[in-house]
Amino acid sequence: MGPLTSRLLALESRRGWSVFCGLLLVAAVLVPVLHLATPPDSPLHVPAYMVSLLGKYLCFALLALSLDLVWGYAGALSLGHGAFFALGGYAMGMHLMRQIGERGVYGNAGLPDFMVFLNWKELPWYWWGFDGVLWTALMIVAVPAALAFVVGWFAFRSRITGVYFSIITQAMTFALMLAFFRNEMGFGGNNGLTDFKDILGYPLQSDATRVALYVASAVMLAAGYLVARFVVASKLGRVLMAIRDAESRVRFLGYDVTAAKLFVFTLSAVLAGIAGALYVPQVGIINPSEFSPAQSIEVAIWVAVGGRGTLFGAILGAFTVNGAKSVFTGLAPEVWLFFLGGLFILVTLFMPKGIVGLWGQLRAKIGEGVQNVAQKHRA
Amino acid sequence: MWRRSTVPEGDGTIVAAEPKASAVPARAGRRTAAAPAAAAGTVLYLDGVTVSFDGFRALNNLSLVIAKGELRTIIGPNGAGKTTMMDVITGKTKPDRGHVIFDADTDLTRLDETRIANLGIGRKFQKPTVFEHLTVFENLELALKCDRGTFRTLFFTLDAARARRIDEIMGLIGLGDRRAFRAGQLSHGQKQWLEIGMLLMQEPQILLLDEPVAGMTDHETEQTADLILDINRDRSVVVVEHDMEFVRRLGAKVTVLHEGSVLAEGSLETVKNDHRVIEVYLGR
């Protein structure tokens, strides 16, 4: 057993691994089996809409996880993480557009519908290569990484921290949104990319494809969690936490703070990009609204609600808030935003460590209560 | 700044001029050389360092030599430039003029904090800054001298020899039984020791300690003095301190800073009887 394997095994305690494997089994095996193998009228049946909804949540959870890595550990609150998610999504969307071929409204195999509509004669150079799966996979990872590397390099080198970093990342996603809204950018403008037909030759509308995408999302989330866990459990993870607590002190210790932050910011962008790429085929559309600053702020709320700096909390928060969103927008869509705002205020005030920290808080409270009662009895 | 109003202008210029006059003969030969270089046996050499903040001269043509293996205490009233001097040596502040030569030929004024730290200059800040969310062990592990590259750090594994070294230092600073405590749970004195321990993990050639006993009890102060004397057996140490009892206990050469330059230098007794030093300390 190599040193790396033993370190991987040591990432979690025995209990941690059982929880991890248990959750992965439920998400990646039990849900699809209950969907495919039970009759629709069985009480155990998981309906198709539930599978695609959970698939969406899994992508959001991966996005939240990626933000927790930079915010919870390195202390840099990115309010532009939606941009990396959207870029990964656009890369996937471009591939799916090229897969439509002659089945578009205009039946033009060489050009996507919206380009024909705009009277474009040929495919722009940056669309070349998206017919291929490998090139697309590369771009899903490379484009968010490159953007994060460049923005991070300028920001961290100039020692921009705290709220200024948040503002810069917010401006980044806003600028991208405005750019992607423009038709002449060649990304479908306002409408974005949609009307996808199939992925890797399998029809997107079919049940089996949906389940496959769902399982892929669950597996990617698990893999992303392990990668993030490996980073935060390493010595580099402790360097990042030290940067969060006292950045200049870390410099005097001789660590390259800029490089450490740049590494984790870029890695985080890659995870967010993969999340976006898995999200797009499941919802069937990608448009510039994914770049909107409000989307990125919502991601920060998921992480805060779940409990930042815990990784698991980010996943929990993404499921909790989005679950509440699905319920509320069904029951009373007009109060959803008030609920979200109120939730954020309540969590900040009463649950600074989020849902994950609630258990510890409760235990401390109960312990106090027991002690008080015991003292009264003695008196 | 407030001192300026209590000391007449005339007096101020005399005090500032005198140390310069006394410092020049000792270093005249080196000053005429085109490129500054320190003599052998010197670990740190500050040559005519000047730093201004908004027109206020925090350091005024400061020159100072620290020998290899030397223990030096630096005293001076508030605003004398003690902390600014530390900032210049460690690269936090860039001087307007002058050089800081480390180990004979490295000019520190051209390097950043990270490079300077890796050269072997350890600094303890006035306020103890340990990483509160990490344990005592993890704090020391971060300070451990080894490859600091980002990917090397990601795949770093602690070998037995290094783990023993951490345990050794933990014992030396008296925190052997606090291994798994979070640094935030330690007392003020223990945090100061942990920070000194972190400096030792870096195996520096020279240690800069900014008020290491501020806020400590008498007993803790005594222990700290013993610890510093112990450390000084292997490396140079520069201590900035207000506590005269502590300075006496260290029994080292004392440098008095005033208005950004050296006012007097010598044993504590010599310095104490220097009329300019008395004037500066009593005049305020």
Neighbours of A55 (CB within 10 A): 25
Q: What is the pLDDT at residue A379?
A: 63
Chain A residues lying within 8 Å of B117, measured CB to CB: 251-254
Helix (H, G, I), strand (E, B) or coil at B239: strand
How confident is the model over A210-241, as pLDDT tens digits? 999 999 999 999 999 999 999 999 999 999 99
All structural domains of chain B: 2-282 (3.40.50.300)
Report the b/e string of B251-283 with b at 16+ CB within 10 A.
Answer: ebbbbbbbbbbbbbbeebeebbebebbebbeee
pLDDT higher at A11 or B31: A11
How confident is the model over A124-159, as pLDDT tens digits? 999 999 999 999 999 999 999 999 999 999 999 999
Q: What is the pLDDT at residue B13?
A: 36
Q: What is the pLDDT at residue A292?
A: 96
Chain B residues lying within 8 Å of A244, measured CB to CB: 133
Q: What is the pLDDT at residue A62?
A: 98
Instruction: Tell whether A366 is covered by a domain.
Output: no
**pLDDT > 70: what percent of chain A?**
99
Instruction: Tell whether A31 is covered by a domain.
Output: no
What's the rounded mean pLDDT across residues B9-29? 37
Interface with A, mutate which of B153, B159, B208 (most A CBs under 10 A): B153
Interface check B105 vs A, CB under 8 A = no
Q: What is the pLDDT at residue A210?
A: 93
Count of structural domains within chain A? 1
Range of the domain at A309: 47-335
Min Cα separation B122/chain A (Å): 8
Reported as a pLDDT band with limits 50, 70 and 90, residue B283 is: low
Residue A195 has phi, psi (to 5 degrees) of: 65, 30
Reported as a pLDDT band with limits 50, 70 and 90, residue A2 is: low
Helix (H, G, I), strand (E, B) or coil at A298: helix
Pick from A110, A91, A50: nearest CA to A281: A91
Pick from A227, A217, A224, A254: nearest CA to A239: A254
Is the pLDDT confidence value at A375 over 80? no
Q: Of A39-53, A254-268, B8-22, B50-64, where does mean pLDDT reach its minimum? A: B8-22
Min Cα separation B164/chain A (Å): 17
What's the rounded mean pLDDT across residues A28-57? 90
Min Cα separation A236/chain B (Å): 5
Cβ pair B113:A245 closer than 8 A: no
Q: Highest mean pLDDT range out of A119-123, A147-151, B150-154, B196-200?
A: A147-151
Reported as a pLDDT band with limits 50, 70 and 90, residue B38 is: low
Cβ pair A242:B131 closer than 8 A: yes
What's the rounded mean pLDDT across residues B229-238? 91
Instruction: Tell whether A304 is covered by a domain.
Output: yes
Is the pLDDT confidence value at B15 over 70? no
Chain A residues lying within 8 Å of B153, measured CB to CB: 234-236, 239, 255, 260
Is the pLDDT confidence value at A108 over 50? yes
Instruction: Tell whether A7 is covered by a domain.
Output: no
Interface with A, mutate which of B131, B132, B135 (most A CBs under 10 A): B131
Q: Of A319-333, B14-28, B67-81, B240-254, where does mean pLDDT reach its minimum? A: B14-28
What's the rounded mean pLDDT across residues B208-228? 90
Cβ pair B92:A263 closer than 8 A: no
Partner residue facing B117 (CB), from A231, A245, A253: A253
Interface check A74 vs B, CB under 8 A = no
Q: Are strands B42-53 and B56-67 parallel, antiparallel or unpaired?
A: antiparallel
Reported as a pLDDT band with limits 50, 70 and 90, residue A120 is: very high
CA distance B9 to B29: 32
Reported as a pLDDT band with limits 50, 70 and 90, residue A177 is: very high
Instruction: Tell whether A351 is covered by a domain.
Output: no
What's the rounded mean pLDDT across residues B67-81? 90
Cβ pair B132:A245 closer than 8 A: yes
Sequence length of chain A is 379
CB A279 within 8 A of CB A322: no
Tokens linked to B45: 């050499």
CB B226 within 8 A of CB B216: no
Q: What is the pLDDT at residue B17?
A: 36
Tell which B residues from 240 to 279 touch A, by Cβ distance under 8 Å: none
CA distance A42 to A266: 46
Instruction: Tell whether A227 is covered by a domain.
Output: yes
Could you tell me the end-to-end alpha-carbon distance of chain A, in angstroms, rounded to an integer? 60
Interface with B, mutate which of A5, A153, A251, A252 (most B CBs under 10 A): A252
What's the rounded mean pLDDT across residues A43-68? 94
Instruction: Tell whether A353 is covered by a domain.
Output: no
Q: Of A76-90, A137-151, A341-355, where does mean pLDDT reach its minimum? A: A341-355
Q: Of A301-310, A358-367, B66-75, B89-98, where does mean pLDDT reach its minimum? A: A358-367
Pick from B162, B172, B115: nearest CA to B142: B162
Cβ pair B138:A238 closer than 8 A: yes
Q: What is the pLDDT at residue B29?
A: 36
For chain A, give the mean pLDDT: 92
